[in-house]
Chain A
Amino acid sequence: MSSQPTTAPGTFAPSDGIPPALRSFYWGLRRELWENRSLYFAPLIAATAFLFGFLVNLFTLRHRVASGLLDAEQLREALTTRHDLAAALVMGTAFVVGIFYTIDALYGERRDRSILFWKSLPVSDLVTTLSKLTIPIIVVPMVSFAIALLAQFSMLLLSTVMLMGSSANLGTIWTGTPFLRDSLALFYHLLAIHGLWYAPAYAWLLLVSAWAPRLPLLWAVLPPFVICGLERIAFNTSHGLDLVKYRLLGPDNGMAPEHHHDLAATLIPQHFFSAPGLWTGLVLAAALVFLTVRTRRYRGPI
């Protein structure tokens, strides 16, 4: 026992030169992914289910191509729609899972008393809060991007195999479906909207999760709802509702109308980053994070 190497009191054993806060942050992310496997399983299952449906659909498409009901352009369009649908389904699933994750992130540890254990470790409330916030705003979008990409690539392979030998031009399937360009747009959309634009919404969910004595989802949704209702009754205005809508629906003013249906152009970076809503949102998110850190400090098991 006495032969074990000891470091001087109060100092770290600098094993790899990584700052302790960063190490804790990294392990905090891994911890969250261990606990919440639905964050990647749910979109994976959604993608798999979609692929199965797509496979069945391909039989019909092949039949229609073979009987000349579908020309090359119509086939390309049909496939593009399905590619977009796959991405939307995966992202939508991940989005919902991310919301449920966030609302439970700091509530669950109080409910099961494990907050006592986490607080017995040298990890600050700030690092804990930031790692939990990073999950919905960065990790979930990245995971859903990877899964969407994987699903779309599988779809390309499936269509190639299934339509092989039919009269369809396989080359146009690969060049015609906007696989890579859409992926980049998707990536940007996920980072910009799910990461930056929704950041204050996630921070709000996390704050409620840290604070709520019970039923955190109700506490997260009801107050804004009541405020909007009261405003409507008292002043017959709907600024509150507009604000919530603006936040949830995204920065429409960042959208150039002439490109409305082109995913790649819906979010022109110059427009998006010059939207004041983005920056007020990020300031609000920072304030909410500050409050969350404070709240977690005071909170114990419930």
Chain B
Amino acid sequence: MASIEARGLRKAFGTTIALDGIDLNVEDGRILGMIGPNGAGKTTALNAILGLTPYQGQLRVLGRDPWAERDLLMRDVCFIADVAMLPRWIKVSQMLDYMAGVHPRFQRGKAETFLAKTSIGQNRKVKDLSKGMVAQLHLALVMAIDAKLLVLDEPTLGLDILFRKQFYDSLINDYLDRSRTIVVTTHQVEELQHILTDLMFIDRGRIVLSCSMEEFESRYAEVTVHPEQLAAARGLKPIHERQVFGQSILTFDRVERGRLLQLGEVHTPSISDVFVAVMSNRAGIAQGAAR
């Protein structure tokens, strides 16, 4: 069953088109990474999925219309945006009380167990916690909810590398052992490349690339080309070319592995490298293809 199903999802703010009729199908248990430049429409798409903004087109999340049934939907959906989203005045203990009061799926014990592993005291107020601790607190709340869909919008923005790593480690260890769907947007994509099952690039309100990670790995290849093979390699129409320490690294899309192995060392590219390649081609700065 699909957790999220969208057909022709469209959203305009005045004359600015934030979402230009996107189709989306996220099956249960998938972990989708949505990658795009700032202002690409990622947050708008997530807001539509979360029932925070009205939209045109068809959208079903866990079988519900999010705009009409946000409160019902939120029993099964958790959401973390950037860290500045928790109310600053609230005490940790009050937060737990409140969650236990209003959320039918919140298991207080779980949140407390998670918090016990951190240095967050229950008498502290959110405003007295560091950014990293607020992220931990929010994660503890989300971990304690037996949700079916978790939406993360730049969850680690502004956190230092230790907290970021901790955040994703907790996510992987405590959350991923169940069949839950996760949709995540981030700029620090390399930190979660290994946990994603699906990938989507969004630019100017459109989906530029949508594939599973297996597909991604079989489709894209990065080759550190031997200098004498450079001309031949360029002949295969790489989507991107960059120079690292005098070596040419070319990125190819849908080129047979056998051919590439003759050119040099072949690796699986990082998502960010392919992202840069795809985006710069769209922007008309097609380095590889132009040569």
- The residues of A with any CB-CB pair to B shorter than 8 Å are 1-2, 4, 6-7, 9-10, 12-13, 20, 23-24, 26-28, 30-31, 34-35, 109, 112-114, 116-125, 127, 297-298, 300
Contacts and interface: CB of A to CB of B under 8 A. Distances in A.
Interface string B37-56: 00000000001001111100
Contact of A300 (B53, B84, B107): B53
B88 interface: yes
A23 B101 contact: yes
B253 interface: no
Given A9-B76, A298-B54, A121 B102 contact: yes
B87 A120 contact: no
A120 B50 contact: yes
Given A13-B104, A300-B53, A114 B86 contact: yes
A121 B79 CA distance: 9
B229 to A, nearest CB: 50
B98 A30 contact: yes
A4 B74 CA distance: 21
B76 A124 contact: no
Contact of B79 (A120, A297, A298): A120
B104 A12 contact: yes
Interface in B48-97: 50-54, 70-79, 81, 84-91, 94, 97
B102 A123 contact: yes
Name which of A6, A121, A124 has the most chain B CB atoms within 10 A of its CB.
Answer: A121
Contact of B98 (A20, A31, A112, A116): A31
B178 interface: yes
Contacts of A120: 50, 74, 77-79
Contacts of B74: 119-123
A183 to B, nearest CB: 33
A104 to B, nearest CB: 12
Contacts of B81: 116
A118 B79 CA distance: 10
A117 B87 contact: yes
B69 to A, nearest CB: 9
A114 B88 CA distance: 8
B84 A122 contact: no
13 contacts: A6-B146, A9-B148, A10-B75, A20-B104, A23-B101, A27-B97, A27-B102, A31-B98, A117-B87, A119-B51, A120-B77, A124-B70, A300-B53
Contacts of A298: 53-54
Contacts of B87: 35, 109, 112, 114, 117-118
Contact of A122 (B89, B97, B102, B148): B102
Name which of A9, A35, A119 has the most chain B CB atoms within 10 A of its CB.
Answer: A119
A31 to B, nearest CB: 6
B105 interface: yes
Contacts of A4: 107, 146
A23 B101 CA distance: 7
Contacts of B99: 121
B228 interface: no
Contacts of A23: 101-102
A24 B84 contact: no
A123 B146 CA distance: 17
B177 interface: yes
Contact of A124 (B47, B71, B107): B71
B9 to A, nearest CB: 18
A29 to B, nearest CB: 11
Nearest to B109: A4
A39 to B, nearest CB: 13
A26 B75 contact: no
Query: Which 10 A-B pairs rank lowest in CB-CB distance, beginning with the nearest?
Result: A27-B101, A114-B87, A124-B71, A120-B79, A122-B74, A122-B75, A12-B104, A116-B85, A24-B102, A117-B85
Given A20-B104, A119-B52, 14 more contacts: A4-B146, A7-B105, A34-B91, A34-B94, A114-B85, A114-B88, A116-B85, A117-B85, A119-B50, A119-B70, A122-B72, A122-B104, A123-B74, A300-B52
Nearest to B79: A120
A125 B71 CA distance: 8
B103 interface: yes
Contact of B86 (A10, A12, A117): A117
Contacts of B103: 121-122
Nearest to B54: A298
Interface in B204-226: none
A132 to B, nearest CB: 14
A71 B167 CA distance: 76
Contacts of B77: 120
Nearest to A25: B102
Contacts of B89: 34-35
B253 to A, nearest CB: 37
A117 B81 CA distance: 9
A227 B85 CA distance: 38
A35 to B, nearest CB: 5
Nearest to B51: A119
A262 to B, nearest CB: 43
Given A13-B104, A27-B102, A112 B88 contact: yes
A92 B46 CA distance: 46
B3 to A, nearest CB: 12
Contacts of B54: 298
Contacts of B84: 113
